[in-house]
Structure 1
Amino acid sequence: MSGAEGSSGRGADGIPGSGAPDTVSGREVEALQALHVPTQRIIVIGLALWLVALAATLLVPALHEGDRSWWPWACVAGLVLGSLGLLYVRRGRGNAHDAG
Protein backbone atom coordinates (compact mmCIF):
# COMPACT_ATOMS: atom_id res chain seq x y z
CA MET A 1 0.00 0.00 0.00
CA SER A 2 2.36 2.70 1.16
CA GLY A 3 6.09 2.73 1.77
CA ALA A 4 5.56 3.30 5.52
CA GLU A 5 4.30 -0.25 6.02
CA GLY A 6 7.51 -1.80 4.79
CA SER A 7 9.70 0.40 6.96
CA SER A 8 7.89 -0.50 10.19
CA GLY A 9 8.77 -4.17 9.85
CA ARG A 10 5.13 -5.25 9.68
CA GLY A 11 3.35 -6.68 6.71
CA ALA A 12 -0.04 -5.66 5.37
CA ASP A 13 -1.69 -8.08 7.83
CA GLY A 14 0.02 -6.49 10.85
CA ILE A 15 2.27 -9.47 11.60
CA PRO A 16 5.88 -8.53 12.33
CA GLY A 17 8.33 -9.27 9.58
CA SER A 18 11.43 -11.42 9.76
CA GLY A 19 13.07 -9.00 12.21
CA ALA A 20 11.04 -10.46 15.10
CA PRO A 21 12.64 -13.25 17.17
CA ASP A 22 11.42 -16.72 16.19
CA THR A 23 12.31 -18.54 19.41
CA VAL A 24 11.70 -18.04 23.10
CA SER A 25 14.63 -18.47 25.45
CA GLY A 26 14.54 -21.02 28.28
CA ARG A 27 14.70 -18.21 30.84
CA GLU A 28 11.48 -16.67 29.51
CA VAL A 29 9.64 -20.00 29.63
CA GLU A 30 10.71 -20.71 33.21
CA ALA A 31 9.55 -17.26 34.33
CA LEU A 32 5.98 -18.01 33.26
CA GLN A 33 4.11 -19.65 36.13
CA ALA A 34 0.49 -20.64 36.34
CA LEU A 35 -1.54 -18.34 38.56
CA HIS A 36 -2.98 -20.25 41.52
CA VAL A 37 -6.58 -19.17 41.96
CA PRO A 38 -8.87 -20.32 44.80
CA THR A 39 -11.46 -21.66 42.35
CA GLN A 40 -13.81 -23.22 44.87
CA ARG A 41 -13.92 -20.05 46.95
CA ILE A 42 -14.74 -17.95 43.88
CA ILE A 43 -17.56 -20.32 42.89
CA VAL A 44 -19.01 -20.29 46.42
CA ILE A 45 -18.94 -16.47 46.46
CA GLY A 46 -20.73 -16.45 43.10
CA LEU A 47 -23.37 -18.84 44.43
CA ALA A 48 -23.90 -16.61 47.47
CA LEU A 49 -24.36 -13.60 45.19
CA TRP A 50 -26.92 -15.49 43.07
CA LEU A 51 -28.75 -16.44 46.25
CA VAL A 52 -28.86 -12.80 47.38
CA ALA A 53 -30.11 -11.78 43.93
CA LEU A 54 -32.83 -14.44 44.07
CA ALA A 55 -33.94 -13.27 47.51
CA ALA A 56 -34.04 -9.65 46.33
CA THR A 57 -36.08 -10.48 43.23
CA LEU A 58 -38.58 -12.52 45.25
CA LEU A 59 -38.93 -10.02 48.11
CA VAL A 60 -39.37 -6.92 45.92
CA PRO A 61 -42.54 -7.35 43.86
CA ALA A 62 -41.44 -4.84 41.21
CA LEU A 63 -38.48 -7.10 40.40
CA HIS A 64 -40.52 -10.17 39.45
CA GLU A 65 -43.72 -8.81 37.91
CA GLY A 66 -44.54 -7.91 34.34
CA ASP A 67 -41.60 -7.77 31.93
CA ARG A 68 -39.24 -8.83 34.71
CA SER A 69 -40.99 -12.11 35.48
CA TRP A 70 -37.93 -14.04 34.19
CA TRP A 71 -35.48 -12.47 36.67
CA PRO A 72 -35.98 -15.07 39.46
CA TRP A 73 -35.46 -17.84 36.90
CA ALA A 74 -32.18 -16.27 35.81
CA CYS A 75 -31.04 -16.42 39.45
CA VAL A 76 -32.15 -20.05 39.71
CA ALA A 77 -30.22 -20.86 36.53
CA GLY A 78 -27.14 -19.16 38.00
CA LEU A 79 -27.47 -21.23 41.17
CA VAL A 80 -27.92 -24.50 39.26
CA LEU A 81 -25.03 -23.87 36.86
CA GLY A 82 -22.79 -22.64 39.66
CA SER A 83 -23.57 -25.76 41.69
CA LEU A 84 -22.68 -27.96 38.72
CA GLY A 85 -19.44 -26.03 38.33
CA LEU A 86 -18.64 -26.48 42.00
CA LEU A 87 -19.25 -30.23 41.76
CA TYR A 88 -17.02 -30.38 38.68
CA VAL A 89 -14.18 -28.57 40.43
CA ARG A 90 -14.49 -30.62 43.62
CA ARG A 91 -14.37 -33.91 41.70
CA GLY A 92 -11.06 -32.77 40.22
CA ARG A 93 -11.60 -33.36 36.52
CA GLY A 94 -9.24 -31.90 33.97
CA ASN A 95 -7.12 -28.99 35.11
CA ALA A 96 -9.35 -28.48 38.12
CA HIS A 97 -7.72 -31.34 40.05
CA ASP A 98 -5.55 -28.97 42.08
CA ALA A 99 -8.07 -26.16 42.32
CA GLY A 100 -9.07 -25.12 45.74
Structure 2
Amino acid sequence: MSRIPPNRPPEDVRPPDVTLRTITLVRWGILVWLVVLAVLLGLPSLRTGDREWWVWVPVAGIVLGALGYAYLRRGKGNAAEA
Protein backbone atom coordinates (compact mmCIF):
# COMPACT_ATOMS: atom_id res chain seq x y z
CA MET A 1 0.00 0.00 0.00
CA SER A 2 1.54 3.29 -1.08
CA ARG A 3 1.27 6.25 1.21
CA ILE A 4 0.17 9.54 -0.26
CA PRO A 5 1.04 12.72 1.61
CA PRO A 6 -2.10 14.37 3.01
CA ASN A 7 -1.61 17.54 0.97
CA ARG A 8 -1.36 15.74 -2.40
CA PRO A 9 -4.28 14.06 -4.14
CA PRO A 10 -3.77 10.68 -5.84
CA GLU A 11 -2.65 10.88 -9.45
CA ASP A 12 -5.71 9.12 -10.81
CA VAL A 13 -8.13 11.77 -9.45
CA ARG A 14 -9.06 14.28 -12.13
CA PRO A 15 -11.64 17.05 -12.21
CA PRO A 16 -14.79 16.12 -14.14
CA ASP A 17 -15.12 17.33 -17.70
CA VAL A 18 -17.95 19.82 -17.94
CA THR A 19 -19.31 19.98 -21.44
CA LEU A 20 -20.89 22.99 -23.04
CA ARG A 21 -24.11 20.96 -23.17
CA THR A 22 -24.22 20.83 -19.37
CA ILE A 23 -23.71 24.57 -19.10
CA THR A 24 -26.41 25.16 -21.72
CA LEU A 25 -28.86 22.96 -19.79
CA VAL A 26 -28.22 25.06 -16.69
CA ARG A 27 -29.04 28.19 -18.70
CA TRP A 28 -32.28 26.61 -19.99
CA GLY A 29 -33.18 25.72 -16.41
CA ILE A 30 -32.78 29.35 -15.40
CA LEU A 31 -35.03 30.39 -18.28
CA VAL A 32 -37.69 27.91 -17.19
CA TRP A 33 -37.57 29.35 -13.65
CA LEU A 34 -37.95 32.85 -15.11
CA VAL A 35 -41.08 31.74 -16.97
CA VAL A 36 -42.50 30.16 -13.81
CA LEU A 37 -41.80 33.37 -11.87
CA ALA A 38 -43.49 35.47 -14.59
CA VAL A 39 -46.58 33.24 -14.47
CA LEU A 40 -46.75 33.44 -10.68
CA LEU A 41 -46.38 37.21 -10.71
CA GLY A 42 -48.89 37.56 -13.55
CA LEU A 43 -51.59 35.47 -11.89
CA PRO A 44 -52.15 36.70 -8.32
CA SER A 45 -54.57 33.85 -7.59
CA LEU A 46 -51.62 31.42 -7.69
CA ARG A 47 -49.82 33.20 -4.86
CA THR A 48 -52.53 34.02 -2.35
CA GLY A 49 -53.31 32.45 1.01
CA ASP A 50 -51.25 29.39 1.85
CA ARG A 51 -49.42 29.64 -1.48
CA GLU A 52 -47.70 32.99 -1.02
CA TRP A 53 -44.38 31.17 -0.56
CA TRP A 54 -44.61 29.81 -4.12
CA VAL A 55 -42.93 32.94 -5.50
CA TRP A 56 -39.73 32.14 -3.60
CA VAL A 57 -39.33 28.73 -5.25
CA PRO A 58 -38.50 30.10 -8.74
CA VAL A 59 -36.46 32.91 -7.15
CA ALA A 60 -34.34 30.27 -5.40
CA GLY A 61 -34.09 28.30 -8.66
CA ILE A 62 -32.88 31.37 -10.54
CA VAL A 63 -30.32 32.33 -7.88
CA LEU A 64 -28.97 28.79 -7.47
CA GLY A 65 -28.91 28.26 -11.23
CA ALA A 66 -26.97 31.49 -11.74
CA LEU A 67 -24.49 30.51 -9.03
CA GLY A 68 -24.10 27.06 -10.59
CA TYR A 69 -23.62 28.56 -14.03
CA ALA A 70 -20.96 30.95 -12.72
CA TYR A 71 -19.24 28.08 -10.90
CA LEU A 72 -19.18 25.89 -14.00
CA ARG A 73 -17.86 28.69 -16.19
CA ARG A 74 -15.18 29.66 -13.70
CA GLY A 75 -14.25 26.13 -12.64
CA LYS A 76 -13.58 24.83 -16.15
CA GLY A 77 -10.72 27.27 -16.70
CA ASN A 78 -9.13 26.67 -13.31
CA ALA A 79 -9.28 22.87 -13.31
CA ALA A 80 -5.72 22.50 -14.60
CA GLU A 81 -4.39 24.59 -11.71
CA ALA A 82 -6.26 22.67 -9.01
Q: How high is the TM-score relative to the length of structure 2? A: 0.67
Structure index of larger Rg: 1
Seq. identity, %: 47
Q: Which runs of 5+ in 1 are unaligned?
A: 1-33
More helix by share: 2
1:58 CA drift (Å): 0.6
Please say if 1:65 is aligned against 2:27: no
Amino acid at match of 1:71: W
Structural RMSD (CA): 2.1
1:39 CA drift (Å): 1.0
1:72 CA drift (Å): 0.7
Aligned length: 61
CA distance in 1, matches of 2:67, 2:35: 19
Q: Which runs of 5+ in 2 are unaligned?
A: 1-16
Q: Corresponding residue for 2:31?
A: 48
Moved over 4 A (4+): none
CA distance in 2, matches of 1:37, 1:81: 18
Amino acid at match of 1:56: V
Aligned to 1:38, the other structure's residue is in SS state helix
Please say if 1:92 is aligned against 2:75: yes
